Amino acid sequence: MFFVTNNSTKSRAGYKKKFDSLGLDIPAEEIFSSSFAAAAYLEQTKFKESGKKVYIVGEVGICEELDNIEVPWIGGPDDAGKQPDMGPGGRLEHDEDVGAVIVGFDRFVNYYKIQYAQLCINENENCEFIATNLDAVTHLTDAQEWAGNGSMVGAIKGCTGQEPTVVGKPSPLMIDYLCTKLGLERSRICMVGDRLDTDILFGTDNGLQSLLVLSGVTSEEKLFSPQNTITPDYYADSINDFFLEGSKTSGSTSSASSATS
């Protein structure tokens, strides 16, 4: 099994700590955060050979993953709280060696970071615009829905007119990486998630089986609403239903988890 998350605020190592704190002993190699996906993308595209830097709009997870692959970066948490010089004749000096801007969820996003990213993307030749994910909302805390990286990415799209390369779900990048590196067969993989537009789409778009669980943000109403166009192979209350008491091994439909019920 592998554990993927579109949340880029922690690195793989950071997420291992979270798993540990919850009493789950998961090897780091089984964890795929979108911060790790961004670094994997830079490795795939041999970014290090360009000798360029990365400007990060995001938190420490991306910084740690870039350190792991020895790609130099600037920005990230260092630029929280900064304001550019906007007096008469003021300008923000940006590093012309930035070859890619990576945008991940950033609770400390501000105008300084937006302007820095805009200058890099619009003025540095062939500067890439990479996004860890596009989730509109996320569960920062379980008390409400919080604006997600869709807003940080939206801000940079809005001042550059460019579409980013998305490395997290539902982009195929993480699946391609897994299948290539580990020689997996797609039809024997099952994607399990609680969001239709990231998790299940990730599954259906990439030839995987898919299971929607109702233990997260999506309700049965949302799944069956006329506006929904994404159909998982099955849905269940949670992954505990894999071992549902009274489930049959073949033939009959179990009332708790059939797609037709």
Partner 1 sequence: VTILIALCPFVTKTAFLLVLSSHASIKFRSMMKFGRFVFPTLLASASAFSPKVAPRAFTSTRTALNANVLKLSEPTKEILDKTDVFIFDCDGVIWRGDSLIPGIPETLEKLRSLGKKMFFVTNNSTKSRAGYKKKFDSLGLDIPAEEIFSSSFAAAAYLEQTKFKESGKKVYIVGEVGICEELDNIEVPWIGGPDDAGKQPDMGPGGRLEHDEDVGAVIVGFDRFVNYYKIQYAQLCINENENCEFIATNLDAVTHLTDAQEWAGNGSMVGAIKGCTGQEPTVVGKPSPLMIDYLCTKLGLERSRICMVGDRLDTDILFGTDNGLQSLLVLSGVTSEEKLFSPQNTITPDYYADSINDFFLEGSKTSGSTSSASSATS
Interacting residue ranges for partner 1, rule: CB under 8 A: 83, 86-92, 106-111, 114-115, 118-119, 122, 134, 136-137, 140-161
Q: Find the shortest distance in angstroms from Cβ 96 to partner 1.
A: 13
Comparison of 80 and 189: residue with beta carbon closer to partner 1? 80
Distances (CA, A) of 175 to 32, 107, 154, 181, 189: 10, 28, 25, 10, 10
Distance CA(190)–CA(210), nearest Å, equals: 5
Of 15, 37, 41, 39, which Cα lies nearest the Cα of 28?
15
Residue 217 CB, shortest distance to partner 1, in Å, is 13
Between the alpha carbon of residue 204 and those of residues 3, 175, 221, the distances in Å are 18, 12, 20
- From the CB of 140, what's the least distance to partner 1, in Å? 6
**Smallest gap from residue 132 Cβ to partner 1 (A):** 13
> Which one, 107 or 186, has the nearer CB to partner 1?
107
* Of residues 5 and 206, the one with the C-beta less far from partner 1: 5
Return the number of the residue (7 or 149) whose C-beta is nearest partner 1: 149
Q: What is the bridge-based pairing of β-strands 137-138 and 146-147?
A: antiparallel
Cα dihedral across residues 184, 189, 191, 192: positive or negative = negative
Q: Which is nearer to partner 1, 141 or 225 (CB)?
A: 141
To the nearest whole angstrom, how small is the minimum distance from the Cβ of residue 160 to partner 1? Answer: 7
User: Rounded to the nearest 10 degrees, how much is the dihedral formed by the CA atoms of 4, 38, 63, 100?
Assistant: -160
